[in-house]
Amino acid sequence: MRYISTRGDAPALGFEDVLLTGLATDGGLYVPESLPHFSIEEIRSWRGLSYSELAFNVMHPFVDDAIPADDFRAMLEETYKEFAHQAVAPLVQLDTNEWVMELFRGPTLAFKDFALQLLGRLLDYVLEKRKQHVVIMGATSGDTGSAAIEGCRRCEHVDIFILHPHERVSEVQRRQMTTVLGDNIHNIAVRGNFDDCQRMVKESFGDQSFLGGKTQLAAVNSINWARIMAQIVYYFHASLALGGPDRSLAFSVPTGNFGDIFAGYLAKKMGLPISQLVIATNRNDILHRFMSGNRYEQHQLEHTLSPSMDIMVSSNFERLLFDLHGRDGALVKDLLERAQQGPVSIEDYRWRHARKLFDSDAVDDKLTCDTIREVFERNEYLLDPHTAIGVRAARNCRRDPAVPMVTLGTAHPAKFPDAIAESGLSIKPELPVHMADLFEREERCSVLENDLSAVQSFIADHWKHA
């Protein structure tokens, strides 16, 4: 399996190099040169498999011979046995043909665990094999940081630096990052927003001279192909649990950076019957404005009750644009350069092709709270604000009531007590037992100005071999 850049000017790489590289040298994102395709008969034969066995079948073609099959199987079993539910991603029914897939049963209570607990193991395996050290630099709008730190904290060949927007993540999200203490773990609170953090990461990957040639950066953000690869699996898992592949499913996906829903798009291209993908966003609705009206235009970023989606520059959207433009990297590069100057649209026939599969909706804080309250009053089931946005968008955009609609439950409600309180419910969601003492743990974090050179200097001074 070879991987190519969405901008067409970087060399094709194998899985190991893509795992360690993050952004391509031309500024693009890596995607597989070709996708594996599974027949309906083959997918049907996977009924009854454990989650880790299913994950092996779906992901092994992407890894190919980079990791021996038995080693990869063992890695997957170790990853998913740490989840706090035997089903790993259990499905909860809300109404007739309406479901929530709980993706928050991992160590840090968010869907990011599915990929990042595996990514840490993949990195350790490859770096040990190469006798190489890397510096992980990542940006988080809330959940990626804690999942990355948890996944990589035991890695012997890694220093990890996570940037988050100062005072713009929930307290639980912050503490999940800042209370994991280790010589190789560094949390940086940037006086800016998530897009500022993400921009610093991208620019640092583009020019790594601040590291003095002594190490290289590795990515944990969803620009890393391994993140997308791992997220494809749970679409197959949901389908097999609900009668697939002999019937089609629809999915509603709360998304800011487009990675989680892009995984669903790939699952369909790999042979899984999916009839509809709903892009569920908050007031930071650039993806909704594009999918509903073919206009890609950045607005001022707003702070909402769903902070993990407070993103205006959706990195993984580039991967979809690459496919919509016939995998022509030059066209994608030109479009994205023009998008930095002002609003852009794509050719109508390309946009209409995307609309065959995708719908979208933008849900504000009031509707988010209304949905949390309504679902609890009807079902005594508590949604976090991101999942509530997914449920509301699913109900607003649903094409066919006969097709099962699955909303991806992206985070545990205990991570967002302010949103629960704002919804008017008089209950306080409790943290799971393994996090019960979170608010008593010591925190460690460095607050830096919104300045690239300050952040790069901090990293250069603090990685362990500096």
Domain ranges of the chain: 87-109+225-422
Residue 362 CB burial class (10 angstroms; 0-12, 13-18, ≥19): buried
- Residue corresponding to tokens 């998008």: 339
State which CATH number among 3.40.50.970, 3.40.50.1100, 1.25.40.10, 3.40.30.10 fits the domain covering 87-109+225-422.
Answer: 3.40.50.1100
- Residue corresponding to tokens 């952004």: 23
CA 376, 382, 385: angle at the middle one, nearest 5?
110
CA 383, 384, 385: angle at the middle one, nearest 5?
115
Give pLDDT tens digits for 265-320.
Answer: 999 999 999 999 999 999 999 999 999 999 999 999 899 999 889 888 888 999 99
Output the pLDDT for position 134: 93
- Give SS3 for 26: coil
- Residue corresponding to tokens 């644009």: 321
Q: What is the DSSP string of 222-282?
A: TTSHHHHHHHHHHHHHHHHHTTTTSS-EEEEEE-SSSHHHHHHHHHHHTT--EEEEEEEE-
Nearest Cα to 161, choosing from 187, 191, 140? Answer: 187
Asked if the peptide bond before residue 417 counts as cis, ω within 30 degrees of 0, the response is: no
Q: Which residue type occupies 428? A: K
Largest CA distance in the chain: 59
Two tokens, residue 63: 């890894």
Two tokens, residue 415: 């991570």
Question: Are 310 and 168 spatial neighbours (Cβ–Cβ below 8 Å)?
Answer: yes
Q: Are strands 158-165 and 134-139 parallel, antiparallel or unpaired?
A: parallel
- Residue corresponding to tokens 């302010």: 418
Output the pLDDT for position 204: 95
Two tokens, residue 129: 């094999």
Angstrom distance (rounded) from CA 318 to CA 324: 10
Which residues, at least 6 apart from 144, have a Cβ–Cβ distance to it below 8 Å? 112, 116, 138, 162, 220, 221, 222
Q: Which residue type occupies 324? A: L
Give pLDDT tens digits for 93-138.
Answer: 999 999 999 999 999 999 999 999 999 999 999 999 999 999 999 9
DSSP alpha helix (H) spans, 131-193: 143-152, 171-178
- Catalytic positions, please? 112
Q: 25 pLDDT exceeds 80?
A: yes
Confidence class of residue 465 from pLDDT cuts 50, 70 and 90?
low
Confidence class of residue 370 from pLDDT cuts 50, 70 and 90?
very high
Query: Which among 61-65, 295-299, 395-399, 412-416 has the top mean pLDDT?
Result: 395-399
> How far from 66 is each of 37, 186, 322, CA to CA, in Å?
20, 30, 26
Which residues, at least 6 apart from 451, have a Cβ–Cβ distance to it below 8 Å? none
